[in-house]
């Protein structure tokens, strides 16, 4: 089906067609991934050394009917002075006629590899609930029996598990992870083509450079690979001024250009915003994507972080 025909049917129908005919990347997409690491790598749990609460809202492809909307909430912390960390996260994805909720439990174990570096191992257990309401489709072709006779999906449960490794210091980090090992069929067997949740392989990395006493620079990268879909590469460059104000840019390979800003309101509060401008043909049908996050940290009995962390 050609692109202009897809637009005519509406994005809701388009998203259904894509998921039932191809193996696309199903995991949620984030521009400010460097602050939302626990969603893709369970070894990150507790790595900040404090109780960290994170909230994110993303509205993608504004103006395009049925475009993705993602809401994320997570909390993670170390267990006292032990080497164990844990976290709980929740993700809601609404795309077209589908509504997907995922709750995850992450546990990590950290060993010290040198005076500066630590190596963390993490496991993730998750439960996914998928709902699909086919009655919300606008069917232009009355003879399209396949779509008109589909039974709705109501909170179909799919358990999963994942794992990750995270090597980090106060200035550098590298991580490899697979958030979901199990491949899950999302649609009924009477559909001619099935969408299968495939394993997503993530690689993340970043470093912080002190350019002078008041300016720090952080380049970062995230790559996502899944069989049957193009390799996704996200590159970003952020600057931190006076340990308070963040500004940066990002590029999603062959997909989007982004601008990012943020502010360290206090030792506990950090807020950030990003805007994506599409570099594909989709730019003709939407006004971009918006993402905002809020992080709050409780220091409690933990050692206070001397300066704001970039990740």
CB atoms within 10 A of CB 309: 19
| Predicted local confidence at residue 102, as pLDDT | 95
CB atoms within 10 A of CB 41: 29
Reduced DSSP (H G I as helix, E B as strand, rest coil) percent helix, strand, coil of the chain, to 5:
15, 50, 40
CA distance 82 to 95: 41
Burial class (CB in 10 A: 0-12, 13-18, 19+), 164: buried
| Predicted local confidence at residue 10, as pLDDT | 41
Record the tokens describing residue 207, joined without a space.
Answer: 């470093």
CA distance 5 to 279: 21
Residues in contact with 53: Cβ distance below 8 Å, sequence separation at least 6, in sequence order: 74, 75, 295, 296, 297, 298
| Predicted local confidence at residue 84, as pLDDT | 97
**pLDDT, tens digit only, all 311 positions of the chain:** 443 343 333 444 344 434 433 334 467 889 999 998 999 999 999 999 999 999 999 999 999 988 999 999 999 999 988 999 999 999 999 998 889 999 999 999 999 999 999 999 999 999 999 988 877 776 666 666 565 566 788 888 999 999 999 999 989 999 999 999 988 765 554 544 445 567 899 999 999 999 999 999 999 999 999 877 788 999 999 999 998 999 999 999 989 999 999 999 998 999 999 999 999 998 999 999 999 999 999 886 655 454 456 67
Residue 217 pairs in a beta bridge with 209, 239
Q: Please give the class, per CATH, of domain 3-298.
A: mainly beta
SS3 call for 35: helix
Record the tokens describing residue 286, joined without a space.
Answer: 């939407």
Q: Where are the domains of the chain?
A: 3-298
Contact at 8 Å (CB) between 59 and 92? Answer: no
CA distance 262 to 288: 19
Give start and end residues of each alpha helix (H) in the chain.
Answer: 3-9, 11-21, 145-148
């Amino acid at each position: 089906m050609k692109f202009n025909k897809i637009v005519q049917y509406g994005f809701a129908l388009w998203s259904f067609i894509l998921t039932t005919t191809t193996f696309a990347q199903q995991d949620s997409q984030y521009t400010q991934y460097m602050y939302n690491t626990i969603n893709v790598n369970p070894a990150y749990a507790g790595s900040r050394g404090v109780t960290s609460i994170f909230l994110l809202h993303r509205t993608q492809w504004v103006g395009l009917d049925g475009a993705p909307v993602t809401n994320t909430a997570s909390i993670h912390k170390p267990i006292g002075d032990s080497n164990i960390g844990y976290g709980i996260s929740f993700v809601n994805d609404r795309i077209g006629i589908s509504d997907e909720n995922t709750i995850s439990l992450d546990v990590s174990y950290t060993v010290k590899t040198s005076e500066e570096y630590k190596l963390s191992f993490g496991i993730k257990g998750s439960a996914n609930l998928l709902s699909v309401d086919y009655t919300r489709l606008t069917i232009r072709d009355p003879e399209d029996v396949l779509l008109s006779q589909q039974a709705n999906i109501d909170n179909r449960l799919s358990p999963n598990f994942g794992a990750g490794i995270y090597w980090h210091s106060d200035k550098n980090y590298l991580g490899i992870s697979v958030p979901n090992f199990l491949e899950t069929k999302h649609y009924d067997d009477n559909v001619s083509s099935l969408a299968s949740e495939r394993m997503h392989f993530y690689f993340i990395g970043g470093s912080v450079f002190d350019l002078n006493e008041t300016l720090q620079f952080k380049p970062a990268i995230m790559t996502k690979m899944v069989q049957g879909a193009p390799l996704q590469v996200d590159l970003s460059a952020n600057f931190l001024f006076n340990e308070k104000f963040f500004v940066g840019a990002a590029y999603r390979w062959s997909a989007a250009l982004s601008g990012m800003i943020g502010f360290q309101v206090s030792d506990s509060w950090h807020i950030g915003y990003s805007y994506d401008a599409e570099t594909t043909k989709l730019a003709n049908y939407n006004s971009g994507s918006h993402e905002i996050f809020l992080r709050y940290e409780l220091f409690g009995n933990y050692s206070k972080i001397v300066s704001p962390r970039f990740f």
